[in-house]
Amino acid sequence: MKFEDLKLIPILLKALRDENYTEPTSIQAKSIPLILNREDVLGSAQTGTGKTAAFALPILQHLVNEPQNVHGKRKILTLVITPTRELAIQIAESFTVYGKYTHIKNTVIYGGVTQGSQTNALKKGVDILVATPGRLLDLIDQGYISLNDVKYFVLDEADRMLDMGFIHDIKKIIAKLPRKRQSLFFSATMPQNIIELSQQILIRPKTVSVSPVSSTAETIQQFLYMTNKGTKKDLLLHILANPELKQVLLFSRTKHGADRIVSNLRRQKINAAAIHGDKGQNQRQHALNEFKAGNIRILVATDIAARGIDIDKLRYVINYDIPNESETYVHRIGRCGRANEEGISISICEPEENAYIKDIEKLIGQKIKVVSDNPFPQTDRPMNTAEKKENEKQKQKRKQEFFANRNKKAGAQSPGTRRKKR
């Protein structure tokens, strides 16, 4: 199937050709005709399946055909809600790229930065608003935003939205939308609370499901290095000695671990940067832009910070720490091998993480290929005193982060709690 078969208008097809996109992904092929037919859609699709274009292209087509008062102030006709700043920026960029030959204007708003440039854009008028929940409600309360004219509503990454404690914000936003609208709801997983939320948003939706979380793209080759905690650092340098790894997204379990990895790499004259929750929004966006431009070789990220990162033709992902949730592994390696491009995932496993690998292999239904050419193989020797101390330190750190995150979620979900700034 080609994009031409989906009845998209010529100016959208031209923008797609500019990006060398000729064939739609599965979620695009299934969703675009339904959205063009003005159906509500309940989509089950993980990051990396092309779902942004699946809703952006038909929405742009709707707006091109809308009678818009271009002489007066433009009204917000489309609202896209997403959980993180990075994902909001990526979605807005996609609307800009796909809509380059249209008259449609979009802007993005998110917390963590001063609101001046965002409110200035809103004052000029926009057709499409991409937003994180907290900043959206703040600017509504301040009188900068009205949702009275919204005709197309998208809730993206719904499961992550609920995980981050945004359920009350989402319900407040939905209450401010016109009842007559087209609504699109996307989530990587569909637990009961997500299904119940979708029932409050959608009317007789068409269901689209692709790439369940237990599957990994066939275009991704997966490799596993078995090593010890004390040799991880050296093994990483051995792997990066391969000049083919020119652009690598590397995952760390913790923010402190991410900073430590960057420091170690820089000492070896390897250009690296970290993105995580302790970094300012401008720092994170600068690091991401430099990585995309090829000025930074290794981008080290935590899972939350990496959500929504979309890098064309990214080939390499390295798991420096094996995630203790198998689904997280699938999300991580899904950053490479997108749009039928080849991707390579490399995981570095220490003895404490062996059980995580078994769980991952059970979930994905396949064995990950173990690399035998490994100068730092895993041994059965007991940990020395220094390794034991470091291991205990990391355990305590993970424990503290777990309780901190749990308390944060509990606080966000309790009545009367102050809204998160996003």
Helix (H) or strand (E) segment spanning residue 380: none
Q: Looking at the predicted structure, is the pLDDT value of residue 394 above 90?
A: no
Please state the length of the chain. 422
Residue 258 in contact with residue 252, Cβ under 8 Å?
yes
Residue ranges, CATH 3.40.50.300, the chain: 3-209, 220-380
Q: CATH classification of 220-380 is 3.40.50.300, yes or no? A: yes
Q: Which pLDDT value is given to residue 35?
A: 97
Q: Which whole number is the average pLDDT over 20-26? A: 85
Residue 54 in contact with residue 42, Cβ under 8 Å?
no
Q: Looking at the predicted structure, is the pLDDT value of residue 199 above 60?
A: yes
Rounded distance between C-alpha atoms, residue 162 and residue 290, angstroms: 31
Using pLDDT thresholds of 50, 70 and 90, give the confidence band for residue 418: very low
Q: Looking at the predicted structure, is the pLDDT value of residue 213 above 70?
A: no
Q: In the sheet where 128-131 sits, what is the strand order?
A: 106-109, 128-131, 78-81, 152-155, 182-187, 41-44, 206-209
Rounded distance between C-alpha atoms, residue 187 and residue 340, angstroms: 21
Q: Looking at the predicted structure, is the pLDDT value of residue 421 above 50?
A: no
List b or e across 93-110, with b for residues whose CB sees 16 or more CB atoms inside 10 angstroms: ebbbebbebbebbbbbbb
Using pLDDT thresholds of 50, 70 and 90, give the confidence band for residue 71: low
Neighbours of 29 (CB within 10 A): 19
The verdict on pTM exceeding 0.85 is no
- E strands within 196-297? 206-209, 220-226, 248-251, 272-275
Hey, what CATH class is 3-209 in? alpha beta
Lowest-confidence region among 11-15, 102-106, 197-201, 382-386: 382-386
Q: Which whole number is the average pLDDT over 330-358? A: 87
Q: Looking at the predicted structure, is the pLDDT value of residue 298 above 90?
A: yes
- 110-146, pLDDT tens digit by residue? 988 889 999 999 999 999 999 999 999 999 999 999 9
Q: Which pLDDT value is given to residue 21?
A: 83
Q: Which whole number is the average pLDDT over 319-344? A: 84
Q: Which whole number is the average pLDDT over 319-328? A: 86
Which of residues 240 and 323 earns the better pLDDT score?
A: 240
Average pLDDT of the chain, as a whole number: 86
Lowest-confidence region among 8-17, 345-354, 391-400: 391-400
Using pLDDT thresholds of 50, 70 and 90, give the confidence band for residue 405: low
Q: Which two tokens stand for residue 13?
A: 């097809």
Q: What share of the chain is helix, strand, coil (3-state, %, to 5)?
A: 45, 15, 40
| Residue type (1 letter), 190 | M
Q: Which two tokens stand for residue 129?
A: 């608003």
Helix (H) or strand (E) segment spanning residue 134: helix 133-141
Q: Which whole number is the average pLDDT over 172-178? A: 96
Q: Which pLDDT value is given to residue 212?
A: 58
Q: Report CA-CA distances (Å) from 15 to 1, 60, 73.
A: 18, 12, 26
Lowest-confidence region among 165-174, 226-235, 376-385: 376-385
Q: Which pLDDT value is given to residue 417?
A: 41
Q: Looking at the predicted structure, is the pLDDT value of residue 237 above 70?
A: yes
Q: Looking at the predicted structure, is the pLDDT value of residue 302 above 90?
A: no
* DSSP, residue by residue, 63-113: HHTS---SSSPBP--EEEE-SSHHHHHHHHHHHHHHTTTSS--EEEE-SSS
Q: Which two tokens stand for residue 310?
A: 């979309």
Lowest-confidence region among 18-27, 76-85, 181-190, 198-207: 18-27
From the number of C-beta atoms within 10 Å of its C-beta (0-12, 13-18, 19+), residue 241 rates as: exposed
Which of residues 237 and 336 earns the better pLDDT score?
A: 237
Using pLDDT thresholds of 50, 70 and 90, give the confidence band for residue 422: very low
Lowest-confidence region among 120-134, 207-221, 331-345: 207-221
Angle at 47 between CA 44 and CA 48, to 5 degrees: 115
Q: Which pLDDT value is given to residue 107?
A: 96
